[in-house]
Amino acid sequence: MKIKFLFHGLLVIGMAFSCKSSQQDKEDEYNSNVMKTVKYPEKGDMLLLTDRPPQLETPLKILRQDFTPNEYFFVRWHLAMIPKVIDAEAFRLEITGPSVNKTISLSLNDLKTKFTPYSIVALAECAGNSRSFFKPRVAGGQWCNGAMGNAKWTGVKVKDILEMAGIKDNAVDVAFDGLDEAPLPSVPDFVKSLGIKHAMDGEVMIAYQMNGKDIPMLNGYPLKLVVPGWFATYWVGALHKIEVLDHPFDGFWMKKAYTIADNPQYNENPKDLAKKTVPVTTLALHSIFVEPEPDTKMAVGKPYDMEGLAFDGGKGITKVDISLDNGSTWTHATLDPELGKYAWRRWRYTWTPAKAGKYTLKVKATNAAGETQAAEQWNRSGYARNVIEQMDVTVN
Amino acid sequence: MKSRTYIFVYLSAICIVLASCAGHKAKTEVVQPPIEIKGSVHTMNLVSDEPVFPDQPGRDIFLSNCITCHSTRYIAMQPNFPEKNWDAEVKKMVEKFGAPITPDNQKIIKDYLVKVKGK
């Protein structure tokens, strides 16, 4: 156990520098791309992308756990003025707008006592997860694979809350607003929307707990919107206002930000950008390596336990294939039991290399609809990565 | 009024940090203070930790326009980009995110970024 723990410790150190080149190491912090290891409130050691507003990445080794501990769950805020003071007793969630019968205001206690609690296991993945792997590189949060986490969310169905307020027949969209604010009046407030049918589907929920505990402040205490199968950009943190609208919501964070090329692979050419873009919505089908990590050294004749994660927007992962020869031949990995329709699914494959050399390993997932991953993909914002990933290893 | 106060607070905080951090190198592990809980009130205090950018022409305009909304670390974490990418990024901040930056200053900021994070 101690040896294993030490090994994990070394992996953390390795991870912190996995997104940079050795040249950058010598330069100053402003130009280093080094991801520092930092400790933020209610968090374990995380990788720092940015400090204001905070963006923290989950170290890869944490993804070996089926449920991402709250202390290691990734952090992503958009606006500099994140909520830093929350009075749990004074806090109210307001449900209002032209298409509710009456405006209601709910305390945390109301949410915990006046509704039937609902729990769901779901993966939250940032739309820009794995962005740093796009070639050519694109601007934005330079995430590796740790802008995602799987958790059990407990709270109240949005449907139940909206029914308490009473929904008029003319309802079109539902807008969700968090307590974070823009530092300038010209910068748009962070508000996301869902169609009324989606909001009322009985799965979209407002969580007051993740993994059986209060949500950390950096993850949106006291309430977080959970939209199973959809990218985490919709999972509004510190949710305090729900507006039911009689018209389509046209806010900045739906119409201008988080839009992507309008084709099934979310693909476009850097020299000929897609003319039509649409809001990014459901998780793209993707699979990653968790073990090995880049540049791992393996030994001839020694079994190596590979593992990783595969996920999609809820159709369900049915198959993961591994290639040990840069995609020429493929073989099935085994799948761990499903944790839930909207959770990630772990794959495993034990490989005993027969001879020394450099190998390019690949991983490819297939879902219940028969969809599989793209061989190539690029888009200007580095969203919804779904490309077949590869890992270079050396066998001695 | 509210926004102006916030900007002032941010700029003051950043000036202090820039002054105190000058000369420090990367990889310092940062430990932020824990959440304070008094009764039902939860308070999070975050200490600023922003990389210092090089003192080259355009730096003042870059700092006074960009760091109102985000840390210099947003730029520090980006790969080195060619001029057309930095041009697009500055335009994106103005045209999409609502940053009130004059065309003259946009050019100064773009030139500064090309100088310090160019490719």
Instruction: Tell me which residues of chain B have a pLDDT lower than 70.
Output: 1-28
- The size of chain A, in residues, is 396
Q: Is the pLDDT of residue A6 over 80?
A: no
Q: Is the pLDDT of residue A164 over 50?
A: yes
Average pLDDT in chain A: 92
Q: CB–CB of A33 and B25 under 8 A?
A: no
Nearest CA in chain B to A85: B43
- Domain spans of chain A? 2-66, 93-276, 286-395
Q: Taking CB atoms and an 8 Å cutoff, what residues of chain B touch A84?
A: 43-46
The per-residue pLDDT for range A227-260, each reduced to its tens digit, is 999 999 999 999 999 999 999 999 989 888 999 9
Average the pLDDT over A253-282 and give the result: 94
Residues 162-201 of A with CB under 8 A from B: 182-188
The per-residue pLDDT for range A34-74, each reduced to its tens digit, is 688 999 999 999 999 999 999 999 999 999 999 999 999 99
pLDDT value, residue A43:
97
* ipTM value: 0.88
pLDDT value, residue B48:
84
pLDDT value, residue B14:
44
Domain range A93-276, CATH architecture: Alpha-Beta Complex (3.90)
Residues 67-96 of B with CB under 8 A from A: 68-81, 85, 88-89, 96
pLDDT value, residue A34:
64
For residue A259, the number of C-alpha atoms closer than 13 Å in the C-beta half-sphere is 16
pTM of the model: 0.90
Selected for mutation to probe chain B from A15, A28, A32 (highest B CB count within 10 Å) is A28
Nearby residues of B115 by Cβ (< 8 Å), 6 or more positions away: B56, B57, B58
Question: Phi and psi (nearest 5°) for B60?
Answer: -65, -45
Q: Is the pLDDT of residue A9 over 80?
A: no
Task: Answer for the pair A123, A150: CB distance below 8 angstroms, yes or no.
Answer: yes
- Domain spans of chain B? 2-117
Which residue in A149, A97, A90 sits closest to A125, CA to CA?
Answer: A149
pLDDT value, residue A33:
62
CATH class of the domain at A286-395: mainly beta
Q: Taking CB atoms and an 8 Å cutoff, what residues of chain A touch B85?
A: 139
Task: Answer for the pair A195, A173: CB distance below 8 angstroms, yes or no.
Answer: yes
How many CB atoms are closer than 10 A to CB A198?
Answer: 17
Nearest CA in chain B to A44: B31
Q: CB–CB of B51 and A49 under 8 A?
A: no
Average the pLDDT over A349-377 and give the result: 97
Residues A42, A45, A50, CA angle at the centre, nearest 5°? Answer: 85
CATH class of the domain at B2-117: mainly alpha
Which residue in A117, A143, A113, A136 sits closest to A50, CA to CA?
Answer: A143
Q: CB–CB of A49 and B34 under 8 A?
A: no
Q: Taking CB atoms and an 8 Å cutoff, what residues of chain A touch B89?
A: 139
Query: With an 8 Å Cβ cutoff, is A213 touching chain B?
Result: no
pLDDT value, residue B101:
97
Q: Is the pLDDT of residue A177 over 80?
A: yes
Average pLDDT in chain B: 83
